[in-house]
Amino acid sequence: MVKMTLGVEGMMCPHCEAHVNEDISKAFKVESVVSDHDANTTVVVAEAAISEGELKKVIDEAGYKLVSYACENA
């Protein structure tokens, strides 16, 4: 398992968190996605790493901005 911690700007409320979570879940096979608009983070857990570029594309299309990406074994 791999944990990707993303910095995401533009989330203002729980609805924004749900939007990001849903779009990532639809685009990729993930175990979990948890966003926090207060901390401007989204944590994705998946069996394999998802590239920063692929995640950026989905987040940008949702109307938010990927500002950081860190990947580690979960």
Structure tokens at 34: 């948890």
Query: In the CATH scheme, what is the code of domain 2-73?
Result: 3.30.70.100
> Which pLDDT value is given to residue 47?
97
Which whole number is the average pLDDT over 58-66? 97
Rounded Cα distance between 38 and 13, Å, is: 8
Q: Using the predicted structure, report yes or no on whether residue 74 has a pLDDT greater than 90.
A: no
Which whole number is the average pLDDT over 4-32? 98
Identify which of 41, 48, 57 has the alpha carbon closest to the alpha carbon of residue 6.
41
pLDDT in tens, 36-49: 999 999 999 999 99
Q: Using the predicted structure, report yes or no on whether residue 5 has a pLDDT greater than 90.
A: yes
- Report the alpha-carbon angle 30-33-38, nearest 5: 160
Rounded Cα distance between 10 and 19, Å, is: 11
Rounded Cα distance between 67 and 74, Å, is: 21
Domains of the chain by residue range? 2-73
> Which pLDDT value is given to residue 38?
98
